[in-house]
Amino acid sequence: MYVITGATGNTGQHIVRTLLAKGARVRVVGRDAERLKPLAALGAEPFVGAAGDVKSMTRAFAGATAVYTLVPPPYSAPQVRNTQNAVSQTYAEAIIANQVRYVVNLSSAGAQLAQDFGPVNGLHDHEQRLNQIGDTHVLHLRAGFFMENQFFNIALIRAQGINGSPLRAELAIPMIATQDIAAVAAQHLLALDFSGKSTIELLGQRDISMQEVTRILGAAIGKPDLPYLQFGYEDARAAMVGMGLSADMADGYIELYRYINDHGYPQLEARSVKNTTPTRFEDFAQGFAAVYGK
């Protein structure tokens, strides 16, 4: 039995589909029965529960050989790191209570940093907590910047005809399609080929700058001259709060962008065949254009 948290999200749904296609038993965890229905229709066992609730997660993980853990981004939490740690603690207790042997954990490039890297510092804490669980084999997938983050800019592109973020225009960073993370997660969940506590970085198909991202997106949506604007930190923070993020989450993202601009992306590994994944930004842009056009 595999238990997949965040099953309705970017990575979770792809993992579930792959495991089911291989004939595995899969329990899918989410907060809303309706959102779990499409996965249940494919043969997954739905489990409705909140990630911060120990009793609920302990039942969710019952009988699991392996669990995929994902600490959901707490966009509106007044205290982001505390909220992430509460979820992390819940997962850890549920893993211990059920003596789960294998965990694949979605983490982030930069999770070696205990400070100064926004919401990723909460994933650092989660890694540390899982690493303290004695008999459980844990594989941390430290993913680069998600291509899917560009979906948050659709409203901006539509309303103002620009793409923008606080990132420096020409700074190339490792950008990954979440389906590629899911493919690696599913592969290791099926093979159970990891032992002890280990970490791999997943850096996408190539490093790419926001300038190039914007050129590719612009071409895909029929706006070949779409400009990219580097937003000031204060303006970006105000816009995030305006979109409903808590002040603490907006501060965290600004901290993360500032870190990347000042120091470069904090991955530890040099790019290699092992940490490079197939989906090109050009491929992602086709899916982006389909969503943009709706």
Ligand X SMILES: NC(=O)c1ccc[n+]([C@@H]2O[C@H](COP(=O)([O-])OP(=O)(O)OC[C@H]3O[C@@H](n4cnc5c(N)ncnc54)[C@H](OP(=O)(O)O)[C@@H]3O)[C@@H](O)[C@H]2O)c1
Q: Where does this chain bind ligand X (CB under 6 A)?
A: 6-12, 30-32, 35, 50-52, 70-73, 106, 108, 119, 123, 143, 145-146, 149, 178
Give the Cα separation of 211 and 7 in Å (integer): 32
Q: Least distance (Å) from ligand X to the CB of residue 152? A: 9
- What's the closest the beta carbon of residue 181 comes to ligand X, in angstroms? 7
Grouping H, G, I as helix, E, B as strand and the rest as coil, residue 276 is coil
**Residue 293 Cβ vs ligand X, minimum distance, rounded to whole Å:** 21
Q: In the complex with ligand X, which residue's Cβ is closer, 122 or 218? A: 122
State which residue, 132 or 149, has the beta carbon closest to ligand X. 149
Distance CA 188, CA 16 (A): 13
Q: Considering beta carbons, is residue 70 or 221 the nearer one to ligand X?
A: 70
CB nearer to ligand X: pick between 50 and 223: 50
Could you tell me the smallest distance in angstroms from the CB atom of residue 96 to ligand X?
19
By beta-carbon proximity to ligand X, the closer residue of 110 and 218 is 110
DSSP codes joined into one string, 92-135? HHHHHHTT--EEEEEEETTTT-SSSSTTHHHHHHHHHHHHT-TT
- Range 11-17 contact pairs with CB under 8 angstroms and sequence separation of 24 or more: 11/70, 11/106, 11/178, 11/181, 11/182, 11/185, 12/68, 12/70, 12/182, 13/39, 13/182, 14/178, 14/179, 14/182, 14/183, 14/186, 15/68, 15/182, 15/185, 15/186, 15/189, 16/42, 16/44, 17/42
Q: Nearer to ligand X by C-beta: 66 or 70?
A: 70
Q: Give the residue nearest to ligand X (CB).
A: 9
Residue 232 near residue 226, CB atoms below 8 Å: no
Report the nearest approach of ligand X to the CB of residue 32 (Å).
5
Tell me how far, at minimum, the Cβ of 95 lies from ligand X, in Å. 15
